[in-house]
Amino acid sequence: MKTNFLRRIAPLTLLLAPIVLYSGDSADIQADIAQLREKYANVDDVRPTPVPGLYELRFGYRIAYVDASGQFGFLGSGDLQDVSSGENLTESRRAEVRRELLASLDQWDTLDFLPDKTEHELLVFTDVDCGYCRRLHQQMAEYHELGIGMRYVAFPRSGPDTDSWTTMQSIWCSNDRREALTVAKAGGFVPERQCDSVSVERHFELGRQIGLSGTPALLTPGGELIPGYVPPVRLAAILNETDD
């Protein structure tokens, strides 16, 4: 009988039952994967982890770990870590999923503010009614001086059929989208426009798949998520450290 995962395991809960160790036989692993796919009808991906007998389940952006029976595991704050290297394996997997999702985003669909010489290029989920999004945009020249370029996508936090959504749709339908966005972020009025563009809908759905809960949200080409507003100098330091 197939089981709904969210009904069986509560989010952010650590289940402390022992995990069965595994022999590592490839045939047994494939059998376990097939069993877990049957058990959790809405799972997107099942794969073994470096820990014998422990499997990763992915439901969209959400990651969980269970034993071969699918009964015991851990979620949320219980990220899996490689103790020897210090790598957070769960976050590395999240970054991989983000890269896969972002690969489907057409370049023309972004609203770009890039310096003459770009050292770091970020994809930025933004909302015209977000105070920190406005602050970030007001400092665009400072980011550019540090070689940081921004490619905006729309994420009106209020959702469809709201004033923010209508404004952002009007921006993406404007003849001069960069100017329209700048006006809106300064609190100005952007005339309502309609077009065949489905940019806002696509961007919003992408943000939901990635698991965004607020704006601004900055993503590196490697899939690293930098949540919230970060001042220019601090952001440059973070990006330079990431490159190292």
CB 93 within 8 A of CB 182: no
Dihedral sign, Cα of residue 207, residue 211, residue 212, residue 213: positive
Catalytic residue among 32, 157, 173, 177: 157
Structure tokens at 164: 């923010």
Q: State residue 69 phi and psi, 5-degree precision.
A: -75, -20
Can you tell me the distance from the alpha carbon of 167 to that of 170, in angstroms, rounded to the nearest whole number?
Answer: 5
Does the active-site annotation cover 127? yes
Does the active-site annotation cover 157? yes
Catalytic residue among 129, 130, 134, 173: 130
Can you tell me the distance from the alpha carbon of 21 to that of 182, in angstroms, rounded to the nearest whole number?
Answer: 57
Catalytic residue among 93, 127, 134, 173: 127
DSSP letters along 108-168, please?
GGSEEE--SS-SEEEEEEE-TT-HHHHHHHHTHHHHHHTTEEEEEEE--TT-SSSHHHHHH
Can you tell me the distance from the alpha carbon of 143 to that of 137, in angstroms, rounded to the nearest whole number?
Answer: 9
Catalytic residue among 32, 67, 93, 133: 133
Does the active-site annotation cover 133? yes
- Active-site positions read 127, 130, 133, 157
